[in-house]
Amino acid sequence: MTMPPAQGAAYTCPYCRMASDGGGGTCPACGAPVDIRLKVSDSGWIEQPPIRDMAHIRFGHSTCQVSGTYVPVAEMALHDQDSVFFSHHVLLHTDPNVRLGNLPLKGGWKRMRAGMPLIMMTAQGPGHIAFSADEPGETLAVPLAPGRAVDVVEHRFLVATGNVNYGWQNANVWFTTQDGDDEEWHYPLGRTMDTFQATGGNGLLLLHAPGNTFIRDLAPGQRILVQPGGLIWKDQSVRMFLHFEYPHGQYWFSSARYQAKSTWLTLQGPGRIAVQSVFERPEGSGSVRRSSGATTQYW
Amino acid sequence: MDRIECQWCKAQNEMGRTNCTTCGAPLDKKDLVTDSGWAEAPRLRDMTEFRFSSSTCQIEGEIVPVAEIALAQGDSVFFEHHVMLWKEPQVPMSALNTGGGMKRMLGGMPHILSVAHGPGRVAFSRDATGEVVVLPLHPSMELDVREHAFLAGTHSLTYSFVRIKGLANVLHGGGGMYMDRFVTHNEPGLLLLHGYGNVFQKTLQHGEKIMVEPGGFLYKDSSVTMNAVKQNVKTGLMGGHSMYLAEMSGPGRVGIQSMYVHHGSE
């Protein structure tokens, strides 16, 4: 679900579409600068500006301050009524009085097999606690209106507010190739995707994305092909499936069966998507034996 | 005569200067400090120059900065050999034996530090995105630095290494942890570090504490004590996992890096 622009507000952030008074230089919901020109590519991608050093984001009774530029740090000043949850390896520092706990997670075996963190920790205010990722990139703030849910590619999650429900599901984007007698399985998006949905009030989701980030709104039925490793998050209303393209070679040994193929992820609107400019090299060459729902093109 | 005090190293500079002559920090920019008191290490301008003894150091680049040192006759710097990016052919080299060979080998630390002597130019850089942190050390200061984080130290620094007991499971998965220790005596010294990601510093008051992810620790004054504190975290499947945080107690400075190496939860 893509949030509609807020009505009657002094300022509506073009990046997160949350309303505010527009003062203070940055959007209080997502930290985006308010005093810069919107950069939109000719094809409709909106360049997400980096959160300015030391910018504040508000949530509940608390604030989040983002500092640094190469590997930004998200430092929360937690009110005693507020909490956040996070994967334990992104914790950077905390006041001793912040109460740390853990969020019960189901499906531990599946999560372990999928390479996902087994431990999701919680932090309850009052006090300061800070988080950072382990690679250069940008911190993305995705404010969630009550009921709004987004799907996030695994390993992009940094921290979320306590009123955001966390779940995970099979990405259901996979294919197999043949290597001798062995069938190789490939998961271009990872085996699972995280799902976040705000409940009760506005929630805040912080992600970390390497490279630069671009967002786009897809109209109903509109499709775009992206590198699977480039997707960061999408609205739940956006459908996704694989698309394979095979080049025809000049000789028999360079035919589609033996040549490297292009593996794309088709995203179909309606809804908003976000991609990052850094992505992993696509894996797997040769023809596909089996796959999740996919389209194919030879050229 | 009016002077400008550098907010990072407290050195006095002539009016009108834009960079500190001692550490290169911009003098015409406000310090960036988070609400909880972490100050960003100054972002050194490309091609910034500063001096130590009779030599100069110039910082080049911004993503993985290079520290290029023009060594004067009589001056020298020591470093781990793999951080040297280039040198002029005529720069004399020697070795600084660190002692504790077996311990250092077990700790994954180099046995021998290289020393470059002036006159001539040498340059250093590390292997990932980050910042060069310039730490001038006044006489009698002692600084403990995460192993493999120092880029170069000037000849007036005394180098040793210390094992931090009680942190055995924290940074090396049971193998113990060593930190480089740099001490100045009669003459000021200069220490260059490379922190991964962004670097932040906080000055703890006497008895003040902060919990730091051990992989994020970069340096501290030796007056700051460091203890491993176990956090018990339960999971439905495996029962429980142990996670350690480093409890830093003041007084003194603590430096952290925002991109860190995570060593697992077991």
- Of the pLDDT bands very low, low, confident and very high (cuts 50, 70, 90), residue A129 is very high
Section A81-98 average pLDDT:
94
A25-39, A215-229, A245-259, A263-277, range with the lowest pLDDT? A245-259
Q: Considering chain A, what is the average pLDDT of its residues?
A: 87
Query: From B245, which residue of chain A is nearest by alpha-carbon distance?
Result: A93
Superfamily of domain covering B3-257:
Mitochondrial biogenesis AIM24 (3.60.160.10)
Q: Return the higher-pLDDT residue of A299 and B251.
A: B251
Residue A104 has a pLDDT of 73
- For B226-263, the pLDDT digits (tens) are 988 887 766 555 555 667 889 999 999 999 999 975 43
How many domains are contained in chain A?
Answer: 1
Q: Choosing among A64, A67, A208, which should be mutated to test the B contact, i.e. which has the most B CBs within 10 A?
A: A67
CA distance B73 to chain A (A): 37
Task: Write down the number of H helices and E strands in chain B.
Answer: 2, 23
Nearest to A67 among B34, B241, B245 (CB): B34
Report the alpha-carbon distance of residue B72 to residue B10 in Å, rounded: 25
Distance from CA of A213 to the nearest CA of B (A): 19
> Residue B253 — left, alpha, or beta (φ > 0 → left; ψ -120 to 50 → alpha)?
beta
The answer to whether residue A95 is domain-embedded is yes
Which CATH number do you get for residue A155?
3.60.160.10
Residue A293 covered by a domain: yes
Q: What does the pLDDT average to over B220-229?
A: 92
Predicted confidence at residue B142, as pLDDT, reads 94
Would you kindly state where each structural domain of chain B is located, as residue ranges? 3-257
Mean pLDDT, residues B7-34: 94
- Report yes or no on A1 lying in a domain: no
Establish whether this prediction's ipTM goes over 0.90.
no
Block residue for tokens 């989701």: A205
Residue A98 lies in domain: 11-298
pLDDT digits (tens, 9 = 90+) for B104-124: 555 556 667 899 999 999 999
Which of A58-67, A241-250, B28-37, B177-186 has the lowest average pLDDT?
Answer: A241-250
Among A109-123, B127-141, B223-237, which stretch is predicted with the lowest mean pLDDT?
A: A109-123
Give the confidence band of B174 by pLDDT, cuts at 50, 70, 90: very low
Does the predicted model carry a pTM greater than 0.90?
Answer: no
- For A90, the enclosing helix (H) or strand (E) is none
Whether residue A133 is contained in a domain is answered as yes
> Has residue A67 been placed in a domain?
yes
All residues of chain A having their beta carbon less than 8 Å from the beta carbon of residue B238 are: 108, 118
Q: Is A4 a domain residue?
A: no
Residue of B nearest to A99 (CA): B231
More confident residue, A80 or A105: A80
pLDDT band at A247 (very low <50, low <70, confident <90, very high): confident
C-beta neighbour count of B181 within 10 angstroms: 16
Question: In this predicted model, which residue has the larger pLDDT, A230 or B173?
Answer: A230
Question: Quick one: tokens of A257?
Answer: 């069966």
Which residues neighbour B192 within 8 Å (Cβ) at sequence distance 6 or greater?
Answer: B57, B67, B124, B132, B133, B134, B135, B150, B151, B152, B153
| Cα-Cα-Cα-Cα dihedral sign, residues A99, A100, A101, A102 | positive
Residue of A9 and B202 predicted with greater confidence = B202
